[in-house]
Amino acid sequence: MRWLAFLFILFSTVLAGCGSVMSEVALKKVDRGLTLDIVRAKPDAYAGRNVLWGGIIVASENMEDSTEIEVLETELFYDDTPQSESQSLSKGRFIIKAEKFLDTAVFKPAKRVTVAGVVKGAQTRKIGKMDYIYPIVMPMELKLFDPQPKIYIGVTPMFAPY
């Protein structure tokens, strides 16, 4: 009997450690099946739908009454934290449009971000000289993470690329 109690406690502890970094309230609203590539193909068809996406911040800019964060999408780990760009194939880029001031010194390039938010259509902008369709997401909940350290397997640090 004690052995079963021990297993139950161990199992409960493991499950508790596997939760999302996002709140249950936000997670209940999102459709995990709506991936960036699906929304990017028909952004108007998915306007108003809730998504959970994450990735690496490419740029952030304060506008007159909002902050826009350009994100290179990456897959999410089991706890909904974004993988680094070297661990995941990206499905593209999207923009988080927060209708308030977010400090661009905090939401800066290379940091990782997870957003639960509402699709608000798309905007076409340039990447270099190419037109690119960016889905726009208004955040309900936003989590920021430091960049993941680069790990060089089999390479001594003094020879690691810059």
Return the number of other C-beta atoms located less than 10 Å from residue 3's C-beta.
7
* Cβ pair 25, 13 in contact under 8 A: no
pLDDT tens figures, 4-23:
444 445 444 444 446 999 99
**E-state strands within 13-91:** 50-62, 67-74
Residue 49, both tokens: 């739908």
Following CA atoms 48, 45, 77, 145 in sequence, which dihedral angle do they give, to the nearest 10 degrees? -50
pLDDT at 2: 58
Half-sphere exposure of 128 (CA within 13 A, CB side): 1
Residue 157, both tokens: 């640090």
pLDDT at 74: 95
* DSSP H/E element including 5: helix 2-16
Determine if the pTM surpasses 0.75: yes
pLDDT along the chain (162 residues), means of 10: 50 56 95 96 96 97 97 95 81 96 96 97 96 97 85 52 46
pLDDT at 13: 43
Beta bridge partners of residue 151, listed in sequence order = none
pLDDT at 89: 82
Instruction: Say which amino acid occupies 14.
Output: V
